[in-house]
Structure 1
C-alpha cells in the first residue's frame, strides 16, 4: 500500500503546472492526500476515473482546504473533528476502512507574529484527543502539513529559528505529546539521523536549490503499525508547490490481512 501527501499551495495553481492525475497514476499511490487546496470543490474540474474524491472546503473561499483522492472506496467519511470551532477551515478529512483510518490534516499556522499560537495549541490538543479516540477502534494513518519542525534536525537553522512560528517549544511539545500517545513519525522511525531531509522551502533566496528548508510534512501511524512500514520518502524532485510530496509505503500483507 502506498500513500502520498502534498501541501499543494493552491490546487488550481498546481493544475496549471502539471497534469495532476497523470502524475498520480504514475506514482501508483493508493491514496493522494492533499492540503491547502485554496478553493471550493465547485471551482475546480478534476476528473479521476477509477478513483474516489473527497473534499473539505473552508468556509472562507481561497483559504486552507483539504482533499483525498483514493482508489479504494471507504466505509465512512468524516469531515472535521466534530468541533464547530475547529471545523470552519476545512482542515481534516477522515476515511474509515475495514482495518484502519486514513486522515489528511492541515494544521493551523501560528502566524509569524505568533498571534494564532494559542489557537494552534488548542487545535493540536483537540486533534490529539481525536486521533487517540480513533486509535482505540483501529489503527490510524494520518498525514499532512503539521506546520511544525519537531526536532533541530528537521530544519536548516534551528538556533536562528528558535521561538519562531513552527519551531516554538510549545508547538514542538504539542507534537511530542501526540507521539507519546501511541504514534510514530514514520520518517524518523526509519531515518533517525538523516540530515537535510526537508519538505518545505521558502520561495526566497533560492532556498530550495540550496536545500535551506524545514521538514513539516509527515506521515504518522499508530505505534502498532511501525513494523509494517516499508519506507517513508520525501519526494524532493517533484515540483509544483513550496512543499514537496511525502510518501508512505506499508507492507501489502497489512493492507490485505490486518486485524486477522
Structure 2
C-alpha cells in the first residue's frame, strides 16, 4: 500500500470516528420542542426483558422520553446501549439485593436540564424507585411505586411514600406543569381491574387506603389522563403470570400518566400498548403538547 493511500485511509478512519460521535451528540432542551411523546414500561427485569423483546415496538412510537420501571440491574444491558444510542441514559440502581431489585431508568432524546434520583428518604431511595427530570417547560416524574405486599404487610410503608410523593409533586407543580408516569401500583376504581369484589381490601393495589391516596392526588390539581380520555374503557396494563391471566384478560390497570390539571387539555393521546410482550406489564404511551 502506498504512503498516500495509507494516509488517505487514516484520514477516512478519523473522519468516521468524528461522524459517529456527532451522530451520538444529544441536544439539550432549549424549550423549543412543543410536542412530546412518552413511553413508560415496567419491564419486570430489564435483562430478562431484552431477551424477550427487541424494543422495536417502543421505537416505532418514536418516543422522546422512555421511562423503565423495575429494571433490576446495575448497568444498562448492551442491547439497550445499542438500541437507544441517540438517547441520554440515567439508571437509578437499588442498593438492595446487589442491585437486582426494583430500580428505574430514564432515556431521553433531549438532555434534561437536571435529574434528581429518589424521593429524598433512604427508606425508599435504597430501592431506586423515583427519578425527576426537569425540562424547560415541565417536570417529568417517573416512579415504580412500592407495593403494599402480600396480606398488606407494607401498607403503612406505602402510606409514607404517598404522603412524601404528594408533598413533592405539589411543590414541583407550583413551579412547572407535571407529567407523572409509571407503575403506580393502584387500581383506582372498579373499572380498573377485572375482579374488584374478590380483591377489595384483600389485595395490594385495591384497598380503600391506596385508592383514597390516589383520589387525594387527583384532588390536589391533577388528572388521570387515560381515564379522562377513555372514561368507560376496561383496558388493563398488568396481568399475573398465573392461570393464563393475560390470555384471559384478567388484569389490572396499574400504569398511569397523571398530569397537572392545567395541561390536561393538551393531552393528545394516552393509551396502553397491550400487544407488546416481554413483561407482565404493558407499556403506556402519552402524547402531549407542552
TM-score by length of 2: 0.84
Give the distance between the partners of 2:271 and 2:135, measured in 1 at CA.
Answer: 23
The 1:239–1:100 alpha-carbon spacing in structure 2 relative to 1, beyond 3 Å, is: same
Q: As a proportion of its length, which structure holds more helix?
A: 2
Match of 1:146 in 2: 184
State which of 166, 185, 208 in structure 1 corresponds to 2:246.
208
Q: Is residue 57–residue 276 contact of structure 2 (8 Å, CA) maintained in 1?
A: no
CA apart distance, 1:138: 0.3
Aligned equivalent of 2:62, options 21, 28, 37: 28
Q: Calculate the aligned-residue CA RMSD, in Å.
A: 1.1
Question: What CA distance in whole angstroms lies between the structure 2 residues aligned with 1:41 and 1:124?
Answer: 28
- List, as ranges, runs of 4+ consecutive aligned residues in structure 1 with deviation greater than 3 Å: none
Q: Is 1:233 equivalent to 2:268 in the alignment?
A: no
Q: CA deviation at 1:18?
A: 2.0
CA distance in 1, matches of 2:228, 2:53: 32
1:1-260 → structure 2 map (5 Å cutoff) = 1-20=36-55, 22-41=56-75, 44-45=77-78, 46-47=80-81, 48-60=84-96, 61-163=99-201, 164-195=203-234, 197-251=235-289, 254=290
Structure 1 or 2, whichever has the larger Rg, is 2
Q: Distance in 1 between matches of 2:176 and 2:113?
A: 13
For residues 30-49 of structure 1, what are the alpha-carbon distances to aligned partners after superposition, in whole Å with 9 as ceiling and x for unaligned? 1111100011126x323122
Does the residue aligned with 2:286 lie in a helix, a strand or coil? strand
Alpha-carbon distance, 1:120 to partner: 0.6
Shift of 1:87: 1.3
CA shift in 2, pair 1:63/1:209, >3 Å: same
1:104, 1:55 → 2: CA distance? Answer: 12
Deviation track 1:204-250 (CA, whole Å, cap 9, x = no partner) reads 11111111100000011011110000011010000000000011011
Query: What is the DSSP-based 3-state SS (H/G/I as helix, E as strand, rest coil) of the residue aligned with 2:160?
Result: helix
Q: Which ranges of structure 2 fall in alignment gaps of 5 or more residues? A: 1-35
CA gap of 1:71–1:248, structure 2 versus 1, over 3 A, is same
Number of matched residues?
249
* Deviation readout 1:145-172 (Å, 9 max, x if unpaired): 0111000000001001001211010010
Deviations 1:169-210 (A, max 9, x none): 001001111111111100001111112x10000111111111
TM-score by length of 1: 0.93
* 2:19 aligned residue: none
2:136 counterpart SS class: coil
Cα distance between partner residues in 1 of 2:95 and 2:218: 30
For residue 62 of structure 1, report the CA deviation from its aligned partner.
Answer: 0.8
Task: Give 5+ residue unaligned stretches, structure 1.
Answer: 255-260
Counterpart-to-counterpart distance in 2, 1:182 and 1:70: 26
